[in-house]
Structure 1
Amino acid sequence: MIVIIDGHIHLFSDAVIENVIRKKNMADMLGFQTAPVRRRTGTKSLEQDLGAAGVAACQLLPTAKASGVRQVNDRCMKMAGESDFLYTAATLHPDLPAISQELHRLKCHGINGIKLCSFSQGFALDAMNTRLMLDAIRHENAHHHGSFFIILDTFFQADAYFGTPPENNPTPDRMGALVADYPEIVFVAAHMGGLTAPFELICDHLVPADNLYLDTSNAAHTLDETQFVQLLQSHGPDHIIFGTDWPWFDQASEMVLVERLMDEAGFSEDEQSAVFGKNLASLLGIG
C-alpha cells in the first residue's frame, strides 16, 4: 500500500488568496483552481481534501519576513503538534538575528525542513547574507547532527507579477549555484525547479545531484508533458517529491495527473511509492 504525503501545501489568509485571484493573468497562466479556492483556508478544509484523496499527511510550507520568523514558526509548530496529518517546515530569513540559535530551537522541536521564498521574503539567493545563513545551516548539519533541508520556492517571473526586485527572483542558475556550493544541504526545488522558467535553463542549471530534489507542485500545469516526463527521468524517482501547492490545486486531481506522467516516465509501482511519500518521509525523519 502506497502511503501518500503531499509535500507542498500552504495555509493562506483570505487576503492572500484574494490578492492572487485578482492577478487573473497570472492565475490563468499557472492553471490555478480559483473557483473553489476560497473555501480552502484552514485545517478543516485541508483535512477534508486530504481524506477525499486518500492522502495520509502533508507538509506545510510557511514563510515570513525577518521580524516574523519566530512567531510564524511557533504558530506552525503548534498547529502541527495538534494534528495527526500535518507536518510543518519552518522558515528563516537572512536578516534574522541569531540564526544559529533558531536552528537549534527548531532541531529541538524535530523540524527538518526550512522553506525559503526569496521574492516574497525580500532577499536575493546570491547575496552575502543569504550565504551566511546557508553557512549556519551547513555548520549545523555537518557538526551538530542536523538534518536540515531547504525547500526553495521558484517563480521565474515573480518580479513581473508581484513588483518585487528582479534580483530576488529564484532563477535556476541561482538555485543551481547553491546546490553546487552547499553539498551538505539537501535542496528541494519547488515546481520541478523553475515555475515558468525556460525549460532549457532548468535543464542546464539544475542538473541531477545527490543533494537536489524536485517537487511536482504546479509544474504539470506549466511545463509541456514531454518536459515534465524528461525531468522525471533525468532526476529519477529517488529525487522527486509529490506536492500539490494546495489550496491552488487539490490532491485528488493532482495525484491522477502525476501518476499518469510517472507511468509515461516508466516508473514502477515501488518508484512511484517513493515519489508519493517515501522520499519526503526520509527527509522528515519519519520513514
Structure 2
Amino acid sequence: MPVKLLRTPTAGRRHHLPVLHLVPGLLLLLLSRSASASASTVVTRLPGFDGPLPFYLETGYVGVEEETGTELFYYFVESERSPGTDPVILWLTGGPGCSGFSGMVFEVGPINFVLAPYNGSLPQLVSNPYSWSKIASIIFLDSPVGSGFSYARDPKGYDVGDISSSSQVVTFLKKWFSDHPRYISNPFYLGGSSYAGKMIPVIAQYISQGNEQRRQPEINLKGYLVGNPITGSAFDDFNTKIPYAHGVGIISDQLYEAAMASCDGDYVTSVTKMCAGVLNTIQKAHF
C-alpha cells in the first residue's frame, strides 16, 4: 500500500528529560509489571493532577521477545472524541532511549507540567487543551528496550539495534491490536520525534510488507509522520544547516556565498583549509 509522509513541528531533543527525577511517585503508580506476555492497568488518577483524569489512560506491558524475556511498556490514551472511529497513533520519542512518557507530557499528549520553579514538592499536572488525543487515540511506547519501564530479563535483550528494535515494535503492535480488537479497523498512523525519524519509516515498511503477505492481524496503516526527525548525518549535519540558516536569515549572504565557493556545496567532508575556516566562522557566530 502507498504510505503518506507528513511532517509535523513537534518539540525537539531539549524535552527529553530524565522523568524519574521529575515525578517518581507518578511513574511508580503507572508501573504495572507482570510476568505475563501482556498485562495492563487502567489509571484513573495521577499524582500532581487535581481530581480524576478526564481521559481514558491504560498502561501495561507486551512481551516481544520470548528468548530474552523482553517486555515493552506503553501508555495508551483513548481519543476523547470518537474512539470507535478516530485514528490510532503509535508515538515514539527520540533518543534513542527516551520514555514514551516524555511524548505524553511534553509533545502531543493530554497532560502538561505546570511550569514553575522547583521547590521540592510534587510537580503539578494540568490538562493539555491542544492534545492530539482530542481527535485520536495514542499509544506512547517505551522503545527500544531499556527506555522508561521497558526491560529484558536477559541482559542480551538490551543489545538491540534500529532494525531489531523496529521489528520488536511491529511485534508489539500485532499483539496489542490482538488484545484490543475494537481498534483494529481504525485508521492507524505511526508518529514520532527526533531519533524516531530513523525508526518510523522502517516500521512502516515492515507493516506494509506484512499486510501484503496477509499476516494477521492486518494493521490498517494509513501513513506516518515525523517531527524534528533525524534522517542521516549527511542530511542532519552542515549540508542542510548552512542552506537553511541562509534561507531564514541566520547567516549573511556574504558568509553563505563564501561557504558555497570554498566548500563546493559539501559542508561535511570537505577538507580544504579555506572551507574549514568559513565553517568555523559560521559555527562560532551562529551555532
Instruction: Provide TM-score, normalisation by structure 1.
Output: 0.29
Instruction: Provide TM-score, normalisation by structure 2.
Output: 0.29
Q: Which has the higher strand share?
A: 2
